[in-house]
Amino acid sequence: MKKIDKKPILLSIYLITFQIIIYFFTKLIQGSPHIIGSTLDNKLPFINIFIIPYVIWYLMIFIVPYMIYKKDKKKFTQYFLCYLITIIISNVIYVIYPSVIIRPNIENTNILNFITNLVYSVDTPALNCFPSIHCAVSMMFILYTSTTKNIDLKYKILIFIISVLIMLATLFVKQHVILDLISGNILALIVFLFIKYNKKIVIKTKKLLRI
């Protein structure tokens, strides 16, 4: 049995902890949120089965970077930087333009609805939706696994499918609107390209992380 490498897990915990802390302080200093959404968003149905890929995201933020780390530490460093910078930019946007969406009332008539309401209760109100970090990080899963040479094609395809389902889930469980999804993906892509063409910052970060 192969020994589990703690380094990528600890670094992922660091990212999540940083995300929680900066989000907490963002909520303290931001103004009144703007209600966002469109007619198309209102027409999209609530589909409770999508809560499954939505919560799978919380596993993926450990599994995907671990996989990348084991195959290509430079690529992991790029992922780490992309996640970090995306979180910082997102929270700056949350301060400048705080947003909120109106969610439906879901009755606990089945286990999927119960899980959805549990997610709602943790994330109440549905504040700071634009851009969607759920979608931005899911886009990172696709970008970094697809460009890591040593990851098997079957895993790349699987991660792509799960990541797309997660993005759709943000809409169908009514945690985000289409604008949040698009802006999250664009932000992740811009940061991805910025890091790709700034090799010095990657080298320095890799040394700093000691990987």
For residue 98, which of 26, 43, 49 has the smallest C-alpha distance?
Answer: 26
Whether residue 11 is contained in a domain is answered as: no
Query: Domain total for the chain?
Result: 1
State the sign of the Cα–Cα–Cα–Cα dihedral 113, 115, 116, 118.
positive
In a domain, 1, yes or no: no
Q: Among 10-19, 23-32, 183-192, whose mean pLDDT is lowest? A: 23-32
Taking alpha carbons only, the member of 20, 136, 160, 155 closest to residue 79 is: 136
Flag whether 43 is in a domain: no
Mean pLDDT of the chain: 95
Residue entry with tokens 């969607």: 132
Q: What is the pLDDT of residue 1?
A: 56
Say if 97 falls within a structural domain: yes
Residues 9/63, Cβ–Cβ less than 8 Å: no
The pLDDT value recorded for residue 56 is 98
Q: Is the pLDDT of residue 124 over 80?
A: no
pLDDT per position as a tens digit, 52-92: 999 999 999 999 999 999 999 999 999 999 999 999 999 99
* Residue 126: band (very low, low, confident or very high) from pLDDT cuts 50, 70, 90: confident
At 31, is the secondary structure helix, strand, or coil? coil
pLDDT tens for 148-166 read: 999 999 999 999 999 999 9
Structure tokens of 44?
A: 């999209």
Which residues form the domain of 123?
55-206
Query: What's the burial of 154, exposed, middle or buried (CB within 10 Å: 0-12/13-18/19+)?
Result: exposed
More confident residue, 123 or 172: 172
Model confidence, pTM? 0.95
Assigned domain for 200 exists: yes
Given a cut of 80, is residue 101 above it in pLDDT?
Answer: yes
Residue 194 domain-assigned? yes
10, part of any domain: no
Q: What percentage of the chain exceeds 90 in pLDDT? A: 92
Tell me the average pLDDT across 108-112: 96
Is 13 a member of any domain?
A: no
Burial (0-12, 13-18, 19+ Cβ within 10 Å), 56: middle
Amino acid (1-letter code) at residue 174: K
Q: Which two tokens stand for residue 102?
A: 């109106």
Alpha helices in the chain (DSSP H): 6-29, 39-43, 51-71, 73-96, 111-122, 133-146, 153-172, 178-196, 199-209
Q: Residue range 1-20: average pLDDT?
A: 92
